[in-house]
Chains A and B, each alone.
Chain A
Amino acid sequence: MTLFGDFYFFIWAALLLVPAVVLGLMEKPIKYYGAFVTAVFIYMAMGSSPKAILNLAVYCLYQLLLVNAYIFVNRRKPRNGILYWLFIILSIAPLGVWKISAFVTGHGIFAFLGLSYLTFKSVQIIIEIYDGLIKEVKPFDFLYFLTFFPCLSSGPIDRSRRFSEDLYGKLSRAEYIDLLGNGLFKIVLGMTYKFALAAGFYQAITWLGSGSRLINQGIYMYSYGLYLFFDFAGYSLMAVGTSYILGIKSPDNFNKPFLATDMKDFWDRWHMSLSYWFRDFIFSRFMMKAIKGKWFKNKLTGASVGFIINMGVMGVWHGLDIYYIIYGLYHGVLLALTEIYQKKSKFHKKHKKERWYKFISWGITFNLAMFGFFIFSGRFTQILGLSG
């Protein structure tokens, strides 16, 4: 069974979520039942590979020990830079081992469903312990946060303090009904995105995008971009909708990305839980250090380096393949150029609120984003002979 992917999942979800709805309507806490459903779905999704379940269990216990050890250590030596980086590295280590071994040998050591996404959650907690925002981590809350099944395989990436607020907050019956309605709507919309629209664009990729002529490459580029959006946004809508039924307001992942009028705007709308994570935990922190340490004479140079590092790391997170790295750097450079243009160009400042200017900006942004997906798909580097 695949989470949000096949018929059996939806049948089981429809059955298993009924008691959650009853608890919600009775204004009772849903979290313990939610944890039970999560365990059932993890077993169903990963049951065919006992090793993957074991890896997941080992990973969760390892991270639980790690965050508690860091709380203990940080209390004795608050804001110690060396310890901070040591724990960050230890937290990322399982993902690193998997990504590198998968890249080198073709089959990763220590693989299991959701490892890439779980890493964001564990690292976020380490960073916020360092910042003094998290002072204790309760085992149940932590394990439920990490493995929460709607967001397990591909996000959206929630934040632990926000998640805990939902665990301990009380929803009145009226509020729960409202959330439930929104959740069901998102699930239906998500199903339409993923199983009708994404499936349709997938057909276009296979039938019209497979030749090597320029027209085929063009059709491939646009239909792949739209397929990626409807597939991932569809999954995300279903994941968020399902979270709502369990009383958890997981963050939205997409906000009409193809209406963006510049690349900064695009990343404010595309895979938002990921781009906000990178903004809060990489870009902002790098920039704050750079500003305090006066690393760059020019503000724009600093920002450009910040954008390129930020998106470069985002690319590497997707995988060590050349096309993911180029994809990240491509977006980093585009963000840097956007920043420089918007700050320096008098033409931009003069016309930015006019309709024709916005329309042209939209057209450029849309095509730049589509070309980004073309790189992401691996086809671009294949044409260049850089990847297989």
Chain B
Amino acid sequence: MEEKILDMLEELCGDSIVREDIDINLLEEDLIDSLDYTELLVSIEEEFGIVMSPSEFTRDQMDTPAKIIAQVKARMN
């Protein structure tokens, strides 16, 4: 699952740095914007069948690859 999410992020951000540093701040580094975030939520829903709503999390709960993985994990259990 972690691999899949990292794949998605790598494609969205167009940068493999999201794999190398899973604590990188995607917002501060300008790697992800509102549009990319929306695409990420759709990919997560299509891949894992988990519906995550755009208003569910504040941005600082979803601003690093590690946090995103943790939130999806929390939802799967």
Which A residues are within 8 Å of any B CB, using their own CB?
Answer: 124, 127-128, 131-133, 159, 162, 264, 279-281, 283-285, 287-288, 291-292, 303, 306, 339
Contacts and interface: CB of A to CB of B under 8 A. Distances in A.
B56 A285 contact: no
Given A283-B38, A284-B37, A291-B39, 17 more contacts: A128-B55, A131-B53, A131-B55, A133-B55, A133-B56, A162-B58, A264-B33, A279-B34, A279-B54, A281-B55, A284-B34, A284-B54, A285-B54, A287-B39, A288-B54, A291-B42, A292-B46
Nearest to A127: B55
Interface residues of B, number: 16
Nearest to B58: A162
Nearest to B30: A352
Contacts of A124: 55
Nearest to A284: B54
Nearest to B39: A291
Q: Which of A159, A285, A288 has its CB near the most chain B CB atoms (within 10 A)? A: A288
Contacts of B37: 284
A375 to B, nearest CB: 24
Nearest to B27: A268
Chain A contact residues: helix, strand, loop or mixed: helix
Contact of A303 (B35, B45, B55): B35
A244 B33 CA distance: 30
A339 B38 contact: no
B41 interface: yes
Interface in B54-74: 54-56, 58
Contacts of B38: 283-284, 287-288, 291
A292 B55 contact: no
Q: Which of A124, A128, A281, A287 has its CB near the most chain B CB atoms (within 10 A)? A: A287
Nearest to B46: A292
A287 B39 CA distance: 8
Given A124-B55, A159-B55, A285-B54, A292 B42 contact: yes
B22 to A, nearest CB: 24
B55 A283 contact: no
B35 A133 contact: no
B33 to A, nearest CB: 7
B56 to A, nearest CB: 6
Nearest to B43: A291
6 contacts: A280-B55, A281-B55, A287-B39, A288-B38, A288-B42, A291-B42
Nearest to A128: B55
B53 A128 contact: yes
A127 B37 CA distance: 19
B45 to A, nearest CB: 8
A225 to B, nearest CB: 25
B56 A283 contact: no
A162 B55 CA distance: 11
Contacts of B53: 128, 131, 133
B55 A339 contact: no
A23 to B, nearest CB: 27
A283 B39 contact: no
The 5 A-B pairs with the shortest beta carbon distances in the complex, nearest first, are A284-B54, A280-B55, A131-B53, A287-B38, A284-B38
Q: Which of A131, A132, A264 has its CB near the most chain B CB atoms (within 10 A)? A: A131
B41 A131 contact: no
B54 A280 contact: yes
B3 to A, nearest CB: 22
Contact of B56 (A131, A291, A339): A131
Contacts of A288: 38, 41-42, 54
Contacts of A279: 34, 54
